[in-house]
């Protein structure tokens, strides 16, 4: 018998592998069809590999390859992580975590039937907003509101419904791009509006807006700069002055973005209610930034305009479902009642920031040689309040080897700990740790440092 015929090219049967103890847990995590496809895809790669062609199955650890492929798929699934970045509203980490008490309070509504589009008083079909417009009126003083699935949808709906085929005036300093390639000029073009640029990057005056108005002008659009700030020789218009001087056929719309309302930690920001008081016809903002709700886009202001938006054909594509609506109703009730559970994650993080020095000292004493208490700064983040930072404390880790390897290892824990690098050191900002994550944060790092000590 030749050496070639002695080589075993027979891979295990797929069904046998699906019942193997090592792969069974991945069926629960990924599903049986997905794991089956992973096995078949890996078999195809194995058959094409030079090692298999030379030595067959005996030269390859098939199970190890399959486990690695399953693990790679598992990492794509949404999972809870621990935020030690110092950015409270972190877009890559799901923006604003919902308050557990808030989530639990609407569970019964969303696990059964609800009166989403039913008027209980009459038994007839009703609107989807429920109590939301009443709550927003009490919160901001707005006549009415429309809710869509994010603030980008808010912007598109406003432009498409109120300004399609007409001119929209925007300052050159506010033609921004946010994450995911969303650009203000692009969204204007997509909604059928003609962009009219005024002012310069750093200076735009009231006269710039007023002088650009024509009979075909539908809107003056003012946009929050979101994730950057311009400092130095700058000038912004008096919004009250612009609103007062606008002709009747031109609407003043403000994309405020962040959702700042009654919070006291952002001196550089203008609140939603203040924009409306200064004469904005509509203001739009996110539900999952400062106010701490689920992903949503609010449009609040004059009722004659919100009614036009609500009747637009695109509204059906943009409207959120009952989970979002019930969460926001409950959140605003709590906010109006001034309860802690009605505050957003940024406010909670800023409240905790004052206690982080004591916590950092305790943890440095818990992990001597591995962690040092370090002054740091936190940010609200998520495209909100870009120029403001807040003092807090965290940990600088002194670890053997390359810092990047340890950052990767912390991200690979059962519940990933997300930190960051600075000067080739791993930093963990304590201000953004959620109280409910603290026990897991401690136990995982205890084990991590213990393993490093054993290796040494």
Q: What is the pLDDT of residues 369-408, one digit of tens each?
A: 999 999 999 998 876 777 688 999 999 999 999 999 999 9
Q: What is the rounded distance in angstroms from the CA atom of residue 311 to the CA atom of residue 212?
A: 30
Which pLDDT band holds residue 3 (cuts at 50, 70, 90)?
very low
Sign (positive or negative) of CA dihedral 320, 250, 140, 128: negative
Confidence (pLDDT) at 56: 87
Q: Does position 1 have pLDDT exceeding 50, yes or no? A: no
Q: Which domains does the chain have, with CATH numbers?
A: 3-74 (no CATH), 82-92+346-455 (3.90.1150.180), 98-342 (3.40.640.10)
- pLDDT score of 17: 95
In this prediction, residue 419 carries a pLDDT of: 97
Q: What pLDDT score does 178 carry?
A: 62
Q: Residue 200: which pLDDT band, with cuts at 50, 70 and 90?
A: confident
Rounded CA separation 338/332 (Å): 9
Residue 202: predicted pLDDT: 76
Residue 122 and residue 219: Cα distance in Å, rounded?
Answer: 39
220 — phi, psi (to 5°)? -105, 120
Give pLDDT tens digits for 325-378.
999 999 999 999 999 999 999 999 999 998 999 999 999 999 999 999 999 999
Q: What is the pLDDT of residue 264?
A: 77
| In the predicted structure, residue 438 carries a pLDDT above the cut 90 | yes
Kindly state the percentage of the chain with pLDDT values over 70: 94
Q: How far is residue 343's CA from residue 326's CA, in Å, rounded to a whole number? A: 16
**Overall average pLDDT of the 196-212 stretch:** 85
> What is the C-alpha separation between 252 and 107, in angstroms, rounded?
39
End-to-end CA distance of the chain: 51
Average pLDDT score over residue span 121-130 = 89
Is there a contact between 389 and 378 (Cβ–Cβ < 8 Å)?
yes
Range scoring the smallest mean pLDDT among 134-143, 194-203, 229-238: 229-238
Distances (CA, A) of 113 to 153, 322, 330, 331: 27, 10, 17, 20
Q: Are strands 390-397 and 371-378 parallel, antiparallel or unpaired?
A: antiparallel
Residue 231's pLDDT is what?
57
DSSP assignment of 230-256 equals --SS-B---HHHHHHHS-TT-EEEEEE
Kindly give, in sequence order, each residue whose CB lies less than 8 Å from that of residue 21, ignoring residues fewer than 6 positions away. none
Summarised one tens digit per residue, pLDDT across range 24-66 is 999 999 999 999 999 999 999 999 999 888 888 888 899 999 9
**pLDDT band at residue 227 under the 50/70/90 scheme:** low
> Can you tell me the distance from the alpha carbon of 153 to that of 155, in angstroms, rounded to the nearest whole number?
5
Structure tokens at 415: 């519940």
Q: Which two tokens stand for residue 364?
A: 């440095």
pLDDT, tens digit (0-9, with 9 covering 90-100), for 150-184: 998 999 999 999 999 999 999 888 776 665 556 77
- Cross-strand partners of 90: 95
Tokens of 278: 């200064």
What's residue 58's pLDDT?
84
Look over the chain and give the mean of its residue pLDDT values, rounded to a whole number.
90
pLDDT of residue 48: 92
What residue spans of 299-379 are helical by DSSP H?
303-311, 315-318, 322-336, 345-353, 356-366
């Amino acid at each position: 018998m030749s050496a070639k015929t002695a080589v075993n090219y027979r891979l295990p049967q797929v069904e046998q592998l699906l019942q193997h103890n090592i792969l069974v847990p991945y069926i629960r995590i990924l599903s049986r069809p997905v794991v089956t496809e992973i096995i078949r895809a890996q078999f195809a790669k194995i058959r094409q590999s030079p090692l298999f062609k030379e030595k067959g199955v005996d030269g390859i650890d098939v199970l190890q390859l399959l486990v690695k492929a399953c693990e790679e798929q598992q990492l794509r699934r949404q999972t809870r992580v621990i935020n030690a970045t110092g950015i409270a509203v972190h877009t890559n980490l799901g923006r604003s975590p919902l308050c557990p008490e808030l989530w639990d309070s609407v569970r019964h509504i969303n696990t059964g039937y609800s009166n989403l589009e039913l008027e209980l008083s009459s038994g007839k079909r009703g609107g989807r907003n429920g109590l939301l417009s009443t709550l927003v009126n009490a919160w901001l003083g707005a006549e009415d509101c429309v809710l869509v699935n994010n603030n980008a949808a808010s912007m598109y709906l406003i432009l498409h419904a109120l300004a399609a085929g007409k001119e929209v005036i925007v300052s050159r300093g506010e033609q921004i791009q946010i994450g995911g390639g969303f650009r203000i000029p692009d969204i204007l073009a997509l909604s059928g509006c003609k962009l009219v640029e005024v002012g310069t990057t750093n200076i735009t005056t009231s006269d710039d807006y007023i002088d650009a108005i024509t009979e075909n002008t539908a809107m003056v659009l003012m946009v929050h700069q979101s994730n950057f700030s311009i400092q130095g020789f700058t000038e912004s218009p008096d919004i009250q002055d612009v609103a007062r001087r606008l002709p009747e056929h031109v609407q003043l719309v403000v994309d405020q973005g962040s959702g700042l309302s009654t919070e006291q930690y952002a001196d550089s920001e203008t609140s939603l209610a203040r924009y409306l008081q200064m004469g904005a016809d509509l203001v739009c903002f996110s539900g999952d930034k400062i106010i701490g709700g689920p992903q949503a886009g609010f449009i609040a202001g004059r009722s004659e305009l919100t009614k036009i938006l609500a009747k637009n054909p695109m509204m059906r594509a943009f409207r959120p479902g009952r989970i979002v609506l019930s969460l926001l109703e409950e959140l605003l009730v709590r906010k109006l009642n001034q309860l802690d559970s009605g505050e957003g994650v940024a406010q909670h993080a800023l409240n905790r920031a004052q206690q982080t020095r004591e916590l950092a000292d305790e943890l440095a004493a818990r992990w001597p040689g591995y962690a040092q208490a370090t002054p740091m700064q936190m940010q609200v983040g998520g495209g909100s309040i870009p120029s403001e930072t807040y003092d807090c404390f965290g940990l600088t880790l002194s670890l053997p080897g390359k810092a990047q390897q340890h950052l990767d290892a912390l991200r690979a824990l059962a519940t990933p700990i997300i930190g960051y690098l600075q000067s080739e050191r791993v930093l963990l900002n304590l201000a953004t740790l959620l109280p409910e994550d603290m026990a897991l944060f401690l136990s995982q790092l205890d084990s991590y440092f213990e393993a490093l000590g054993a290796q040494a």
